Structure 1
Amino acid sequence: MTAPTRPRPDWATIPNLVTLVRFVLLAPVCMLLVDGPDTLAVVLLLVWASTDWIDGLLARALDQTSRTGAIIDPIADRLGLAGIVLSLAVADLLPWAALAIILVVDVAMVVLATRAALGGRISVSWLGKVRTFALMGSVFLLVAAAAWAPSLVPAAQVLFWIGVALHTVSGVDYILRARRAPAVAPEAAEPPSPR
């Protein structure tokens, strides 16, 4: 007679391991960016950013979505973006105002929409996905331009400001949807879409 198999803990998934790698990679990425973007910084930033796509892909492919993943994945995204923009501001590639706007929007979303998100009453919108793509894509282009084609830095900075504008609009939309979401008792709430 075989012993009954114990259920896997919610946190013990391959996608969550990939998300943890994103946390670990953030410090070396930021240090390289502060020193001045070079080829290694571009490659490591690309690896860091790809983990966001990989963990979601694995969560769906392996059917390993989890409540833990739903919580730590957006934290990794927000913390990572703030750290990278801070590093680029220190390196004089972005103005400090950009970091301030991103942080104000993120703090407002945390304060005004976290309860609705964790209660499963709102999910990521298409606008939020476009915002993430625009911001991270423009950051990558900016770092690549600084490393390989400095004359293209101003164009990449314009793209980044478009991403900041989308971040602001998406944040306001997220907060408004959270305010309009119907109240649900905690025991009846479904977990948010994990990835």
Structure 2
Amino acid sequence: MPTDPTTDGRLRRASGRPDWATIPNLVTLLRFLLLGPACWVIVDDPEGSWWPPVLVGVWAVTDWVDGLLARALNQQSRTGEILDPVADRIGIALVVVALGVADALSWVPVAVIVLVDLIVVALAGRAAQQGRMRVTYVGKARTAVLFFGICGIVLGISVWPEAMTVGRVLVWVGAALHIYSATLYIRAARLGTGPAVRRPGGVEDQA
């Protein structure tokens, strides 16, 4: 999410590097690059192969790794705050669509996830770009549940069928949290109230 420009400028001057040139942002870029191979192995007859869970697992873990590195290395950045949630939303949307194409997931939660993202972009995207919104705990929980659910389904269609049911349940729970999280972001964007409203005082964590 967006940062305070003054604080962002101080961080840039203190480090002597451009805002985008950080290790966490490189990890986020890796998450984008993994999307193509991850989606391909999902739809390309994955039964019996460990490649789908490995690629999707690495893709999911990078979301935690970039935030950990940003805090550990003190490399929070405006670019990272924008790229990280964008990578999450695009990544989750594409992977669940791939699961739908592979007939591993109902198209109902797929449609919910994609349509809610489009609505949030339309109604709250400008506020996020202007730095008036922050990531909520509900949003973080939603993302974590969807990641675990997706990984469960991928395990189910490749090497561990028993994981399929748990994965699907988690994706449905994640879709419900996705709707609730979206209402918080839209409320913050339209009314300027609620936990998604940006608080003054510096750079948000990459999450």
**TM-score range relative to shorter protein:** 0.7 to 0.9
Report the CA distance between 1:152 and its aligned residue: 4.2
2:34 matched to 1:25? yes
When residues 178 and 6 of structure 1 are mapped into structure 2, their CA distance, relative to the original with a 3 A threshold, is closer
Conserved in 1, the CA contact under 8 Å of 2:155 and 2:163?
no
2:121 to 104, 110, 114: 110
Report the CA distance between 1:58 and its aligned residue: 0.7
Q: Which residue of 1 aligns with 2:157?
A: 146
Give the alignment of 1:24-103 within 5 angstroms: 24-37=33-46, 38-103=49-114
Identity among equivalent pairs (%): 49
Give a deviation string over 1:155-184, Cα, whole Å, max 9, x none: 4212211111111111112111222217xx
Give a deviation string over 1:53-103, Cα, whole Å, max 9, x none: 111111111111111111111111111101100110110001222221111
When the two chains are superposed, the root-mean-square deviation of aligned CA atoms in Å is 2.1
When residues 6 and 64 of structure 1 are mapped into structure 2, their CA distance, relative to the original with a 3 A threshold, is closer
Residues in 2 aligned to 1:163 and 1:149: alpha-carbon distance in whole angstroms: 21
Residues in 2 aligned to 1:190 and 1:100: alpha-carbon distance in whole angstroms: 37
Bigger radius of gyration = 1
Conserved in 2, the CA contact under 8 Å of 1:88 and 1:94?
yes
Deviant stretches of 4+, over 3 Å = 189-192
Report the CA distance between 1:39 and its aligned residue: 1.1
- Structure 2 residue runs of 5 or longer lacking an equivalent are 1-13, 194-199
Residues in 1 aligned to 2:203 and 2:86: alpha-carbon distance in whole angstroms: 14
How many residues end up aligned between the 2 structures? 185
Conserved in 2, the CA contact under 8 Å of 1:119 and 1:190?
no
Report the CA distance between 1:118 and its aligned residue: 2.8
2:173 matched to 1:162? yes
2:18 to 5, 9, 16: 9
- Structure 1 residue runs of 5 or longer lacking an equivalent are 183-188
